[in-house]
Protein backbone atom coordinates (compact mmCIF):
# COMPACT_ATOMS: atom_id res chain seq x y z
CA UNK A 1 0.00 0.00 0.00
CA UNK A 2 1.34 3.46 -0.85
CA UNK A 3 2.27 6.07 1.75
CA UNK A 4 -0.59 8.26 0.54
CA UNK A 5 -3.13 5.46 1.02
CA UNK A 6 -1.73 4.51 4.46
CA UNK A 7 -1.85 8.10 5.65
CA UNK A 8 -5.34 8.53 4.19
CA UNK A 9 -6.66 5.43 5.95
CA UNK A 10 -5.14 6.48 9.27
CA UNK A 11 -6.48 10.00 8.85
CA UNK A 12 -10.02 8.74 8.22
CA UNK A 13 -9.88 6.67 11.43
CA UNK A 14 -8.55 9.60 13.41
CA UNK A 15 -11.08 12.10 12.11
CA UNK A 16 -13.96 9.67 12.69
CA UNK A 17 -12.83 9.39 16.32
CA UNK A 18 -12.42 13.16 16.66
CA UNK A 19 -15.85 13.83 15.21
CA UNK A 20 -17.47 11.71 17.95
CA UNK A 21 -15.15 12.31 20.90
CA UNK A 22 -13.64 15.76 20.30
CA UNK A 23 -15.98 17.71 18.01
CA UNK A 24 -14.31 21.07 18.70
CA UNK A 25 -10.95 19.68 17.61
CA UNK A 26 -12.59 18.06 14.59
CA UNK A 27 -14.19 21.37 13.61
CA UNK A 28 -10.82 23.15 13.79
CA UNK A 29 -9.16 20.95 11.12
CA UNK A 30 -8.16 22.86 8.01
CA UNK A 31 -8.29 21.62 4.43
CA UNK A 32 -5.16 20.31 2.77
CA UNK A 33 -2.21 22.61 2.20
CA UNK A 34 -1.64 23.85 -1.34
CA UNK A 35 0.97 21.87 -3.27
CA UNK A 36 3.08 25.01 -3.64
CA UNK A 37 3.36 25.34 0.17
CA UNK A 38 4.42 21.70 0.52
CA UNK A 39 7.01 22.08 -2.25
CA UNK A 40 8.36 25.25 -0.61
CA UNK A 41 8.70 23.51 2.78
CA UNK A 42 10.53 20.65 1.07
CA UNK A 43 12.89 23.06 -0.69
CA UNK A 44 13.68 24.89 2.57
CA UNK A 45 14.46 21.61 4.34
CA UNK A 46 16.73 20.47 1.52
CA UNK A 47 18.51 23.82 1.37
CA UNK A 48 19.10 24.26 5.11
CA UNK A 49 19.21 20.72 6.49
CA UNK A 50 20.10 18.57 3.49
CA UNK A 51 17.10 16.26 3.50
CA UNK A 52 13.62 16.22 2.03
CA UNK A 53 10.24 16.38 3.68
CA UNK A 54 9.17 12.84 4.68
CA UNK A 55 6.68 11.49 2.15
CA UNK A 56 4.22 10.60 4.91
CA UNK A 57 4.22 14.17 6.24
CA UNK A 58 3.73 15.60 2.76
CA UNK A 59 0.83 13.17 2.27
CA UNK A 60 -0.74 14.30 5.56
CA UNK A 61 -0.37 17.98 4.66
CA UNK A 62 -2.17 17.29 1.38
CA UNK A 63 -5.11 16.01 3.47
CA UNK A 64 -4.99 18.49 6.36
CA UNK A 65 -3.05 21.73 6.43
CA UNK A 66 -3.26 22.18 10.21
CA UNK A 67 -5.81 23.46 12.71
CA UNK A 68 -7.47 26.80 13.38
CA UNK A 69 -6.90 26.85 17.14
Q: What is the pLDDT of residues 4-45, one digit of tens each?
A: 789 999 999 999 999 999 999 999 999 999 999 999 999 999
Predicted local distance difference test score (pLDDT) of residue 4: 74
Domain edges within the chain: 3-63
CA distance 59 to 48: 22
Predicted local distance difference test score (pLDDT) of residue 20: 98
The b-or-e profile of 24-63 (16+ CB within 10 A means b, else e) is: eebeebeeebeeeebeebbeeeeeeeeeebeeeebbbbbb
Predicted local distance difference test score (pLDDT) of residue 54: 93
In the predicted model, is pLDDT for residue 1 greater than 70?
Answer: no
Q: How far, in whole angstroms, is CA 29 from its chain's centroid?
A: 10
pTM confidence score: 0.83
Amino acid sequence: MSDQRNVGAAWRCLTAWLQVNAPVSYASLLPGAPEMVIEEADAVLRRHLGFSLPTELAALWRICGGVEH
